[in-house]
Amino acid sequence: MEKPDSYSYHQLFDMIMNHKTHMFSIVDRHRRTIYATPNMQEVFGFTLEEAGKRDAFDVVHPDDREYLLKRHENLLASKQSNTSEYRVITKNGEVRHYECKTTPLPDTKDYLQVVSIRDITDRKLMEMELERQKNRYEELQKSLKNYSQDLSSVMKLPDLEARIRSELESVLPGSNPELHTIHPEKADKNAQQLPQISVGRMERVDNKMIIKIGERNGHAYILSIDASSIKEEMETIWLETLAYYTVMVFENLNVIENLMNQLETAIQSRESPQWVLRLLFNLQEQQRMTLSGDLHDTVLQDQIDLYRRLESLLNKYEIEKESKAKLKQIEQGLLDSIHQIRITCNELRPPMLRELGLERALENLFEHIQVTSTYKILFTNAISPIPPLTEEQTIGIYRIVQELLNNAEKHSKASILKFHIECEEGSFRMVYTDDGIGFNEVKLNPSFNSMGLTSMSHRAQSLGGKMEFISKPGSGLKASLELPINDERSLA
């Protein structure tokens, strides 16, 4: 190949060295610089003569120097090229990230090494930001999981206030959460507008984020935090989800308080509490339906939107392998979250229960559970088709089955679960048996230690039926449900 007439090879080489983004140097065994490209001299602020009098590692960040010294010793001993990543301090005092590939020349005088250096600061900062976002996302998901689990033990409003305050202070430092109780007629002019905010909806008022938790005894309960504590979109989504959980529990506490008052009145007047139980379960189903719809229409859609934007980013831009792998982890995390939210929505509001009917809905439930469970489910139906059931009866039976499955998953250690449906003299009957570890008869008595059994019994009682349990240690569990069909008892 002939060189162009207008340039010498020396001129072409200087042109490459002066304008190349990579930096090159040649150092000896003592790390004294023999040669350095002009751009390297510019970045580190020394001349070639000055560089020859100092250790090349003097510009390396102190925390990385020992690591590089060992790498250099290994390179001299092995005579093999190696690649390192480390931080340096530029002449301006700025910390930058570099990737260095060193090629040893063991047969040269003073054991020279050719060093190729490139600035990877932008890539490292992006990787660190991706890692930070991944860790933050996992932290927020863990927070929601723990919070939702803890709410199951919240029985009083002060406990709910303390729990949400603790969670906000922990996850959003500097949020300064406050729960305000406002009476619309007694509040000042500015505060009078706050009770008009929709329950569960987050709005910004000046420098505060405001969420209305609910109303109680004519007072609006308003949660406020400093808006500056929310730094990114995922924290906004987290706060919205936290608010939905809190609103649901707040409303349930109101319902429980009202029902307890009504129940006390009913007992004192010797009235049957069946209607109270029906009211409780109907309100519970309404809350489940509302929460399912809210999760589906807000949180789930936000997660799907984030997933699609990330997917578009991965497809649209060329991203380095390591960064792409981290993005893929985040993408998979979003998919897992979307899947879990959909499962939660389906558990809160069984899909197509009314359209499919009880038998098909139970078959779908068993098929879904069977995929991840360690036990086998056998389902038999002695009546086909199942006599017409009210929607309330259908959802009641479905919920009892869910509770039996939940008990088997958590406690029974059973390998086989059997569900049998039949009809006897105008009554719907379902018999459940398993080969689990069973339990003492004392647990069959209503108590807070057997809330699952009590809940199923109350559910059956609310529909005018009854539920019986037979069990002893080592003999599994037998549960029998009996409900009247087309009988006024079921609607009493």
> What percent of the chain has pLDDT above 90?
32
> What is the rounded CA–CA span in Å between residue 89 and residue 43?
9
Segment 26-44 mean pLDDT: 88
Q: Supply the pLDDT for residue 187.
A: 53
pLDDT at 321: 76
Q: For the residues 331-356, what does the mean pLDDT come to? A: 77
Q: What is the pLDDT of residue 372?
A: 81
- The pLDDT score that the predictor gives to residue 449 is 46
Most confident stretch, 171-180, 191-200, 297-306, 450-459: 171-180
For 214-248, how does the pLDDT look when each residue is reduced to its tens digit (9 = 90+)? 888 888 888 999 999 999 999 999 999 999 999 99
Least confident of 73-87, 158-172, 258-272: 258-272
Q: Which amino acid is at 188?
A: D
Average pLDDT in the 15-43 region? 80
Q: What is the pLDDT of residue 17?
A: 55
Confidence of residue 4 (pLDDT cuts 50, 70, 90): low
- Confidence bin at 453 (pLDDT 50/70/90): confident
Of 179 and 311, the one with more pLDDT: 179
CA distance linking residue 429 with residue 440, whole number of Å: 25
pLDDT tier at 87 (50, 70, 90 boundaries)? Answer: very high
Per-residue pLDDT band for 157 (boundaries 50, 70, 90) equals confident
> CB–CB of 438/418 below 8 Å?
no
Residue 489: what pLDDT?
46
Specify the residue for token string 């506490």: 253
Q: For each of the domains in the chain, give its residue range(s) and CATH number, in order of start.
A: 9-119 (3.30.450.20), 130-160+232-348 (no CATH), 173-229 (no CATH), 353-491 (3.30.565.10)
Query: What percent of the chain clears pLDDT 70, i.e. is strictly above it?
Result: 87
- pLDDT (mean) for 3-26: 62
pLDDT (average), residues 278-299: 74
Q: What is the pLDDT of residue 482?
A: 93
What's the CA gap between 246 and 251, in Å, rounded?
9
What integer pLDDT is reported at residue 271 of this predicted model?
Answer: 53
Top pLDDT among 308 and 189 is at 308
Q: Which residue has the tokens 């999760």?
A: 295
pLDDT of residue 304: 82
Q: How far apart are CA 103 and CA 401, in angstroms?
A: 69
Q: Does the model's pTM come out above 0.85?
A: no
pLDDT average, residue stretch 383-410: 87
For the ranges 66-75, 111-120, 365-374, the lowest mean pLDDT is seen at: 365-374
Mean pLDDT value of segment 293-304: 75
Whether residue 413 contacts residue 436, with contact meaning beta carbons closer than 8 Å, is answered with yes
**Least confident range of 286-290, 363-367, 462-466:** 286-290
Q: Which long-range contacts (CB under 8 A, 24 or more apart) does 379-384 make?
A: 379/418, 379/419, 379/420, 380/418, 380/419, 380/420, 380/421, 381/420, 381/421, 381/422, 382/420, 382/421, 382/422, 382/423, 383/421, 383/422, 383/423, 384/359
Residue 108: per-residue pLDDT:
92
Per-residue confidence (pLDDT) for residue 447, from 0 to 100: 46
Mean pLDDT of the chain: 83
Whether 210 has a pLDDT exceeding 70, the answer reads: yes
Name which residue leads in pLDDT, 211 or 346.
211
pLDDT value for 236: 92
Distance CA 103, CA 84 (A): 12
As a whole number, mean pLDDT of residues 391-415 equals 89
pLDDT of residue 443: 60
H helix or E strand, kind and range, residue 335: helix 321-348
What tens digit of pLDDT does each residue of 437-449 get? 988 765 666 544 4
Compare 448 and 465 and report the one with higher pLDDT: 465
Residue 82 has pLDDT above 90, yes or no: yes
- pLDDT tens profile 106-148: 999 999 999 999 999 999 999 899 999 999 999 999 999 999 8
**pLDDT level of residue 483 (50, 70, 90 thresholds):** very high
Residue 288 has pLDDT above 80, yes or no: no
Mean pLDDT across the stretch 321-337? 80
